[in-house]
Chains A and B, each alone.
Chain A
Amino acid sequence: GGLPLVVTTWRFLNATLRAYQSLTVGEFDPIDALVEGCSVCEREQCDGTVGYGGSPDETGETTLDAMLMDGTTMDVGAVAALREVKHAAAVAKYVLRNTRHTMLAGSQATDFALQMGFRRETLQTDASRTMWEQWKANHCQPNFWRNVIPSPSMSCGPYEPVSANAVRNNRLEESSEADRTDFRFGRYNHD
């Protein structure tokens, strides 16, 4: 290897190149180069796993997670389950530079972003809406529920926890936790 270095998960070539050029030609500091690189994937919706319009949750909404960590100051800025704001890595930079916190989450992270000048906009697209509708039409399979009724392996919710009897009689679904294959994580579905 040799410095400077940019390493990125997957085959996200444009993002890697943009970060590297920001660092070398643009002489950005590393955190700004990091935001530049990650933002390319947020715009290009890399593999459907970054940015708006991908990985809809059970209500069809896309929410975003992002983090930036400075290995010299050990300072961190992060957003989790950010809603209705597209540029998650950039918002994380404001958490890093404009707060003394590490992480802001959910709708209140959205409020913070709006205060920092970001725009509220839907993160749903036709593609993510279609993916969600197909999932609903398929009895909400696969899903992340267990030990609830009705049976999550057969139908959608809303769900309620299984009865106290089931708990008492140890008839809880445990072992399948070790087997995560039915969630079909992979190139197009992951964190």
Chain B
Amino acid sequence: TISMIIIDHAGHVVAGTSTNGARHKIPGRVGDSPIPGAGAYADSEVGAAVATGDGDVMMRFLPALLAVEGLRNGLDPNEAAAQQIKRIVKYYPTFTGGIVVATKEGRHGASCNGMAEFPYSVADGTDSEGEVKVYTVKCV
């Protein structure tokens, strides 16, 4: 799944996803990616969050929405992401998934479970060439 957050110069925040879902799914099965608040959520007053992983499980927790609400309540991006991952781990300790969170000012962070580490890619105004950097976070 590609899940993406974009914030332009004026602070207009958008988020989106595109995926072909889980392998060997039962026909008709939809993952979390197209569901607002699950696969992605954006609010230009705060920032945005996007998710990837085991969508059957992740959608039950609306992690993207709640990560944005975490930002709204003062958490930094890493904390907001980790809070949502830990919520899911409490019920599904072996689930696989990652969440990427960005504030409307352009600070970003992530958290994950079920993998050794989770990479995400960033291009932003700190690099005048617009070079893409890869960040990795250790999973909880």
Q: Chain A residues near B96: list those with CB within 8 A.
A: 180, 185-186, 190
Q: Which of A56, A72, A123 contacts B44 (CB 8 A)?
A: A72
Total chain B interface residues with beta-carbon distance under 8 A: 79
Given contacts A1-B107, A8-B121, contact A71 B29 (CB under 8 A): no
Known: A3-B125, A142-B24, A178-B94. A185 touches B114 (CB 8 A): yes
Q: Is the CB of B34 within 8 A of A79?
A: yes
Taking the closest CB of chain B, its distance from the CB of A135, in whole angstroms, is 5
Q: How large is the interface on A (under 10, 10 to 19, 20 to 34, 35 or more residues)?
A: 35 or more
Given the known inter-chain contacts A7-B108, A56-B24, A69-B40, please indicate yes or no for A92 contacting B53, CB distance below 8 A: no
> Is B24's CB under 8 angstroms from A140's CB?
yes
> When the two chains form their complex, are residues B57 and A180 in contact, meaning their CB atoms are under 8 A apart?
yes
Q: Is the CB of A191 within 8 A of B23?
A: no
Interface residues of A in 60-91 (CB under 8 A from B): 61-72, 74, 76, 78-81, 88-89
Bound-complex Cα distance A35 to B4 (A): 10
Q: Give the interface SS of chain A, mostly helix, strand, loop or mixed.
A: mixed
Contact (Cβ within 8 A) A190 B53: yes
With known contacts A65-B33, A70-B14, A5–B26 Cβ distance under 8 A: no
Q: A16-B121, A50-B19, A57-B26 are in contact. Are A30 and B14 (CB under 8 A)?
A: yes
Could you tell me the distance in whole angstroms from the C-beta of A157 to the nearest C-beta in chain B? 9
CB distance B22 to A6 under 8 Å? no
Whether a CB of chain B sits under 8 angstroms from the CB of A113 is: no
In the assembled complex, B42 has its CB within 8 A of some CB on chain A: yes
Most buried by A among B16, B35, B96, B120: B16
Given pairs A5-B123, A81-B30, A190-B53, 17 additional interface contacts (CB within 8 A): A1-B106, A7-B120, A10-B2, A15-B121, A38-B4, A49-B2, A69-B48, A71-B12, A71-B48, A74-B43, A78-B34, A80-B30, A103-B35, A178-B92, A180-B95, A181-B94, A191-B58
Residue numbers of B with Cβ under 8 A of A are 1-9, 11-36, 39-45, 48, 50, 52-58, 91-98, 100, 102-103, 105-108, 114-115, 119-126, 130, 132, 134
